[in-house]
Amino acid sequence: MSKIFCVVCRCVLLLSVALRSLAAVTNTGITVQLNGVYYYSPPHAVGQLAHDLPVQPGELKTVTVVTTAATSFDNALLSAMQSTYTAEDDVWQKGFSDLLHIQYTGAETLATHTNLGVFTTATQNQSLFVPNGPYFMSSTGALYEAHRLYTDSIGAFTETVTQDAQGSFSVLPANSPGQNLAIAVPSRLYYTKTADKPLAGVRVGVKDIFDIKDLKTSNGNRAWYHLYPPANETGPAIQGLLDAGAIIVGKLKTSQFANGERATADWVDYHEPFNPRGDGYQDTSGSSAGPGAAVAAYDFLDLAVGSDTGGSVREPAQVQGILGNRPTHGLISLDKVMTMAPELDTAGLLARDPSLLKTACHVLYKQNFNISTTYPKQILALDFPTTPQTAGEKLLDEFLKAITAFLNAKITNISLEHVWQSTSRISTPLKEYLNLTYPVLISQHQIQNIRDPFYRDYGKLHDGRIPFVDPVPLSRWKYGEATTATISAEAAKKENFKSWFETEILKPDPSTCSDKLLLYTNTKFKPAYRNKYHESPTPPFGFELLSISIFSGTPDVVVPVGETEFWSNVTEHVEVLPVTVDIMAARGCDGMVLSLVEELYREGIVKVARAGGSVSNGGEILVRRSEG
């Protein structure tokens, strides 16, 4: 018995040795802790230092790199550098001071630095220069980047990622305390924005319906994620952002197949992210739930890519009090992006900073962005309260007055339905005419493009079984199959509306791009608790304010204008909810609207939204005590 056992044992040993010699070990980087802060350090060295510090093999030292033309880098310059780095970067900290490495750009010989109190090295050889900032150094002097790890405390990400030296993405092999995924962000000091790279170092999250080469796409469905291989291509929208220098840090949650879902019962496969505003238990809306919640919650994230077919960028922007845009339909290719209805699908961005949003939209939409800075002098205000009474209504009124004064414009309150009745040749009210258009287009297209191939591929692998699908997409697909309405008839109605809209409401204008601006609000001024039980989902019938840009194909930008108080049933305390206004213009005038938003910001009429519990003050996100 024991002999046999030994023989088997030896065989196993030999086999394992043989396998091991064949296996390629991949270094995926390391995680370290420095003064209680977690970092990820990617495996590829980015530079090399000559030093005579005693460093043991396997030991790491911290290095701060600074580039200067000052012949003598003294204590005053050192402390100025430390203040700048602290202000500009969330990754650098004083702990990166085992070694100070000075890159000297002046012409003279570099003086020695004996009075700095830190071990200092220097070089004048520019071909050895690395970007300024924090690094980890090995015993051989190899320099590795420092990426700070944050915890996704509001659960907005589906997968977090890192990019290797060749630019390939893989899942981030790191974790940190906080019961959620860790996100790794490189030092902001490594990047300099240029004309070619206007998004250099800008940290971006991407809704998980956009393919990124080598990463899996879930579309918010677990079975889908596991069924299909990683994407073999990155679509042009995301590639454009990468080419402009953006740093993609992860994929963000979408409600399933980008259908609007509500917390919490609708979100079966994945849990809805937490809206950081107010009591922290408000619905994030959707379908770009992850993009909206993450941009509202995290200072370390600058921008998120979402999609808007029926409000999916705008609603998360509205309830989270950040900027978000639905572009003119057709501005950018949606190749390698999951589709709802090609007639309505668009890709938009969510951000806190108006200037960054404009720059990033310019990158995304390229020559179709049409920046112009001469603005319309007519404003249509749609369904605003005529006699503002509550604090929230007064905020809206102040914003209307401020934008009207800034543009020296004339404002008219209109009802779209009235204008439709009096100017269109169609006698059916808008609400009825376009009632079925959205549910028919999205469901019948998704049946064809998503459901059928998905069920077929899944069934082939699992003995004819059907994959799990959340209640909302399921009920919509069921409706799409049952209804006698058709894509062609509904798409024709949409086209009729679009022609009417550009003749009667927002017309192209040679000097101001659009003859008017159209303003509306979708703020409800009441909480939408995520712990509320709802009726079973029904198809998204109807025509609402949000539908105007959907069917007219016009740009629609959400702008936060402040917040109002409410009594929270969760905290039993007064909390705040965001108030937003949407600005629309004629098709093709995206660049004009976003230039206007940037100017309103310079005038103090629009403010940068803060990350945290409050749009205006930032402040703590309840539950979470600190990040990191």
Ligand X SMILES: *[C@@H]1O[C@H](CO)[C@@H](O)[C@H](O)[C@H]1NC(C)=O
Q: How far is the CB of 43 from ligand X (least distance, A)?
A: 21
Does residue 294 contact residue 301 with C-beta atoms inside 8 Å? yes
Q: Please, is 232 exposed, middle or buried when counting C-beta atoms within 10 Å of its C-beta (0-12, 13-18, 19+)?
A: exposed
Strand, helix or coil at 223? helix
**Distance between CA atoms of 217 and 229, rounded to whole angstroms?**
9
In order of 62, 87, 439, 509, the CA distances from 41 in angstroms are 12, 22, 47, 53
- The residue whose two tokens read 């000052």 is 70
> Least distance in Å: CB of 579 to ligand X?
13
Beta bridge partners of 204: 248, 303
The distance of closest approach from Cβ of residue 99 to ligand X in the complex, given in angstroms and rounded to an integer, is: 19
Residues within the interface to ligand X (CB under 6 A): 125, 127-128, 232-233, 367-368, 370, 381, 384-386, 388, 397, 400, 413, 431-432, 435, 508, 513, 527, 529, 541, 569, 588-589
Nearer of residues 12 and 128 to ligand X, judged by Cβ: 128
Q: Distance between CA 426 and CA 221 in Å, rounded? A: 41
* CA 54 – CA 300 distance, rounded (Å): 35
DSSP string, 124-143: --GGG---SEEEEE-TT-EE
H or E element at residue 35: none
Angle between helices 590-602 and 354-365 (to 10 degrees): 160
**Cβ proximity to ligand X, 480 vs 588, nearer residue:** 588
- Given the complex with ligand X, which of 214 and 266 has the nearer CB atom? 214
Nearer to ligand X, 67 or 368 (CB): 368
* Residue 350 vs 440, nearer CB to ligand X: 440
Least distance between ligand X and beta carbon 527 (Å): 6
Q: Would you say 387 or 422 has its CB closer to ligand X?
A: 387
CB of 399 to ligand X, least distance (A): 9
Q: Closest distance between ligand X and the C-beta of residue 627, in Å?
A: 29
Place of tokens 């962000």: 185
Whichever of 250 and 392 has its CB closer to ligand X, that residue is: 392
- In the complex with ligand X, the residue whose CB is nearer, 400 or 558, is 400
Residue closest to 252 by CA, chosen among 280, 228, 286, 213: 286
If the CB atoms of residues 386 and 626 are measured against ligand X, the closer one turns out to be 386
CB atoms within 10 A of CB 95: 16
Nearer to ligand X, 25 or 50 (CB): 50
Tell the smallest beta-carbon distance from residue 434 to ligand X (Å). 9
User: Residue 520 — φ and ψ, nearest 5°?
Assistant: -150, 170
Q: Which residue is nearest to ligand X (CB)?
A: 588
Q: How far is the CB of 479 from ligand X (least distance, A)?
A: 9
Considering the complex, state which of residue 233 and residue 452 has its C-beta at the smaller distance from ligand X: 233
Q: In what order do the strands lie in the sheet with 47-48?
A: 47-48, 142-145, 133-137, 61-68, 99-104, 119-123
**Angstrom distance (rounded) from CA 165 to CA 142:** 15
Report the phi/psi class of residue 458: left, alpha or beta, with left for phi > 0 and alpha for psi in -120 to 50.
alpha
| Shortest distance in whole angstroms from residue 453 CB to ligand X | 12
Nearest by Cα to 212 from 173, 181, 240: 240
Contacts for 469 with CB less than 8 Å, ≥ 6 apart: 221, 256, 257, 451, 477
At its nearest, how many Å lie between ligand X and the CB of residue 619?
23
Residue 135 Cβ vs ligand X, minimum distance, rounded to whole Å? 17
CB of 144 to ligand X, least distance (A): 18
Comparison of 26 and 232: residue with beta carbon closer to ligand X: 232
Amino acid at 75: N
Residue closest to 183 by CA, chosen among 230, 147, 213, 146: 147
Q: What is the DSSP letter of 166?
A: T
In the bound state with ligand X, the residue whose beta carbon lies nearer, of 31 and 368, is 368
Contacts for 144 with CB less than 8 Å, ≥ 6 apart? 29, 41, 42, 43, 44, 45, 46, 60, 135, 136, 137, 138
Measured CA to CA, the distance from residue 521 to residue 395 in angstroms comes to: 11
CB of 585 to ligand X, least distance (A): 9
CA dist 21 and 11 (Å) reads 15
Which C-beta is closer to ligand X: that of 271 or that of 524? Answer: 524
Instruction: Say if residue 20 is exposed, middle or buried (CB neighbours under 10 Å; 0-12, 13-18, 19+).
Output: exposed
User: Is the Cα torsion angle 125, 130, 135, 136 positive or negative in sign?
Assistant: negative
As measured in angstroms, the least distance from the Cβ of 150 to ligand X is 32
Quote the least distance from Cβ 436 to ligand X, whole Å: 6
Residue among 71 and 569 whose Cβ is closer to ligand X: 569
